[in-house]
Structure 1
Amino acid sequence: MTRILLLHGWAGSAQDWKEVQANLPDDLDTECPDAGYFGQQNPWSGHRPDLIVGYSLGCLDALDHPDLGGIPWMAVNGFTRFCAGTEFPEGIPARILQRMQKRLDEDAETTVTTFLSSIEAFRFPDDSVTYNHEALSAGLTRLLEADRRPVQPVLALAGDRDPLVSVAHSRACFGDSTVIIQEGGHRLLHSHPHIVANAIIRIIRS
C-alpha cells in the first residue's frame, strides 16, 4: 500500500489533516505525526513513505529529518526558508518571530491564539490543552534559523491571499514548482482540502 507522511505546521496538530484525509482514497495509507505543541508528542513511526506532504513548518521538519532524505515531497503553504535576510527579502522579518518568542515566554496561550487568528485558523485549542513551551519555542527557532534552499518539491501549493507566506515568498523558494490557489489563505488544508488531496493523488498516480 502506498504510504503518505503528512506533517503539520507550527501551533498545529495531526488533527489538521482530517479534511485532506477524508478526500483521499482508501488505498493510500496516511501517517500524521504530532509535534506535541499541545501535549504528548507522537513521532514518525519510521516506516519510509512514498511521499511526504509538509504544511507550513512541516516542510522544514521533513527536510531537517536525517531519515527522510531523498523522498519526494510536496509543500502546502510551505517554504524552504521563512525569515528574510539580505539575500532573501521575500521572507518574514526576523523581528516578528523574535517578538513572538518573547511573548511565548510570557503567555503561551495568548501568543498561539493571536497567531492562529492572524492566519484565520479554523480550529483553536480548547481550555483543556497543555501548551508545550519547549516544543513551541523550538519551532519558532527553526522558523528563524532554517534555510533549506535550493531543495525543490514535486509541487508547492500556495494561496494568493496567504497573510503569512506571500506569493513572492513561495516563488522565491519554489520557483516553477509553485501553483497558486485562488482565494486561498494560509489554511489550504481546511479551505481547499479537495485541491490538496487531488494534488497528492496526481503525484502518486503519475
Structure 2
Amino acid sequence: MTRIVLLSGWGCDARLWQPLAAHWPDRREGGLEVSTPDWPGYATRPTLDDPEDIAALAEAMAGDLPAEAVWVGWSLGGLLAAALLDHLPPPRGLVLLGMGARFCDPEGVTQEALVTFRTAFRRDPEATRAHFLRWQLRGEPSPRAAHRRLLDLLGEVPAAPPATLAAGLGQLARLDHRHRLAAPPCPVWRVAGVHDPLLPPSARDAADIRLADAGHCPMLSQPLALADDLAAIALERAP
C-alpha cells in the first residue's frame, strides 16, 4: 500500500480535500491509502499551548506523518511540512503544492502586504478570513464557482480559533526554507497552478508540475488532474 498524507493550509481544514476522493487512480496491486489529518487547532483537534511551536507541532503530528508516506503540503501546510523535516523522520517525498520555499516574495505576496493583512485580521478575524478565502481563488477558471464549492465544503464558521489562525499568519511571515530545501533529506516536488495569484511568476515557472486552468486551489478547480499528478509522484517517482 502506498501512502499519501494531505495537509491543508491557512484557514482551511481537511474537508478541503474531499473533491479528490473520487479521482484517485489505482495503478498497482495494493493501491493508494490517502489520509487527511487536521493540524492542531483545526476542526475538532485540540489547540497547542503555543500554536507557533514547531517542536510541539511535530510531537502532535508524529502519528499522522509516517516516514513511509509522501507528504503533500498545500500553501501554509507546505511550509509547516518542510519545517517538520527537522523534527520527524523524513518521508519518501515532500510535495509543496501552491507554495515555494517561503511565502512572501517581492514578486508575489510582499511582506508589506502580509503585515497589512495581519493588522486587518487583528481588527476583524472573521471578515479577514472570509476575504482571504475569496482572494486566493482569483486564479481559478471560475472564481465564483470555486468560492461556492469552498463554502459548501467548509461552511461559514472558521475552521480554527483566532489564536491558531493568527499563529499561522506569523508562520507565513517567518518560515523560510530556502536553505533547508537546497539540500533536503528527501525528494521534493513543487506543484503549482499556472495562474496561482499567491506565487511569484518565477516560482510558478519553476514548478516540477504546472497545472493548467488552475490557480492556488486546484483541488477545487482541477481535482482529477491534481489527484492524478499526486498519485503519479507517490506510485512512480518517490523512492
TM-score if structure 1 supplies the norm length? 0.84
Contact 2:6 2:72 in 1 (8 A): yes
Gaps of 5+ in 1: none
Aligned in 2, Cα 1:92/1:47: closer, same or farther, shift over 3 Å?
A: closer
Structure 2 contact 70–91 (Cα < 8 Å) conserved: no
Correspondences of 1:41-56 after superposition (within 5 Å): 41=45, 44=61, 45-46=63-64, 48=66, 49-56=68-75
Distance 2:233 2:157 in 1: 39
Q: CA deviation at 1:78?
A: 1.7
Deviations 1:89-125 (A, max 9, x none): 3342112111221221221110000001112243135
| Displaced runs of 4 or more, over 6 A | none
Residue in 1 aligned with 2:140? Answer: none
> SS at the partner of 1:123?
helix
Q: Distance in 2 between matches of 1:183 and 1:30?
A: 25
Q: Does structure 2 conserve the Cα–Cα contact (< 8 Å) formed by 1:11 and 1:37? A: no
For residue 81 of structure 1, report the CA deviation from its aligned partner. Answer: 0.5
In structure 2, distance between residues paired with 1:117 and 1:47: 30
* Counterpart code for 1:58: G
After superposing the two structures, state which structure 1 stretch, 122-131 or 154-163, moved more.
Answer: 122-131
Stretches of structure 2 that go unaligned for 5 or more consecutive residues are 47-59, 138-146
Aligned-residue offset at 1:56: 1.0
In structure 2, what is the Cα distance between the partners aligned to 1:160 and 1:99? 26
Choose from 146, 162, 180 the match for 2:196.
162
Cα distance change on mapping 1:202 and 1:130 into 2, 3 Å = closer
Q: What is the CA-CA distance between 1:36 and the residue it aligns to?
A: 5.3
Matches within 5 A, 1:1-206: 1-25=1-25, 27-35=31-39, 39-41=43-45, 44=61, 45-46=63-64, 48=66, 49-65=68-84, 66-84=87-105, 89-120=106-137, 121=147, 122-124=149-151, 125-129=154-158, 131-150=160-179, 151=181, 154-171=188-205, 175=206, 177-206=207-236
Residues 151-199 of structure 1: per-residue CA shift (max 9 Å, x gap): 165432212211111332334xxx4x53222221111111111111111
Greater fraction helix: 2
Structure 1 residue identity aligned to 2:150: R
After superposition, give the CA deviation of every residue in 1:59-100 in whole Å (9 maximum; x if it has no partner): 11111111153541112212211112xxxx334211211122
Matched residue of 2:96: which SS?
A: strand
**CA distance, structure 1, for counterparts of residue 110 and residue 159 of structure 2:** 29
CA RMSD, Structure 1 to Structure 2 (Å)? 2.4
The Cα shift of 1:129 comes to 4.7
Structure 1 residues 55 and 130: alpha-carbon distance in aligned structure 2, compared to 1, 3 A threshold: closer
The answer on whether the counterparts of 1:57 and 1:79 sit within 8 Å (CA) in structure 2 is no
TM-score by length of 2: 0.73
Matches of 2:5 and 2:113 in 1, distance apart? Answer: 30
The one-letter code sitting in structure 1 at the alignment partner of 2:81 is A
Q: 1:181 to 1:99 in 2, by over 3 A?
A: same
Paired residues in the alignment total 198
Contact 1:101 1:137 (8 Å CA) reproduced = yes
Residues 12-67 of structure 1: CA deviation (Å, up to 9, x unaligned): 11011111232114631122121356543276334514201111111111111111
Whole-Å Cα distance in 2 between the matches of residues 77 and 59 of structure 1?
8
